[in-house]
Amino acid sequence: MLNQSTFFLIYLGNILGIIFYTIILIFAIFIYKRNSYKYGITLFVYSIIFLALNIIWISIQGADLANRLVEESGLPGMTVSLIILTLDLTFKIINAIGMIILIVSIYLIYKTHRKDKIE
């Protein structure tokens, strides 16, 4: 088991991500409640996806998962590799979906707040 300072340092990026996505979530809720813009919903979904990914990664202790599967569970190396590869692929697919939602959200923000130029 990792001690507290090592755990904090290993998962510092995830902890900062959780803080950042929580701020985006609060911002999206305020946008949607105040103005009911469509991009408030997309930002809300985007932040929920990435909050879930970060919380799941910390809860399964992803940085030390391979070692724990080999040492504690006694699984063979190929099985551990397959499990890690499957988790990595799943996280990358969900990450790509979240980024597509962010791009849609940025497009909706641009489309909503575009001002006509005076010539």
In a domain, 10, yes or no: yes
In a domain, 96, yes or no: yes
Residue pLDDT, tens place only, 52-100: 999 999 998 888 888 888 998 888 989 999 999 999 999 999 999 999 9
- pTM score over 0.85: no
In a domain, 99, yes or no: yes
Task: Give ∠ CA 110-103-29 in degrees, rounded to 5.
Answer: 75
- Domain of 62? 4-113
Count of alpha carbons within 13 Å of 4, Cβ hemisphere only?
Answer: 0
Number of domains in the chain: 1
Distance CA 20, CA 33 (A): 20
Q: Is 37:112 a contact under the CB 8 Å cutoff? A: yes
Q: Is the pLDDT of residue 118 over 80?
A: no
Residue pLDDT, tens place only, 34-47: 877 778 888 899 99
Residue 115, classed as helix, strand or coil, is coil
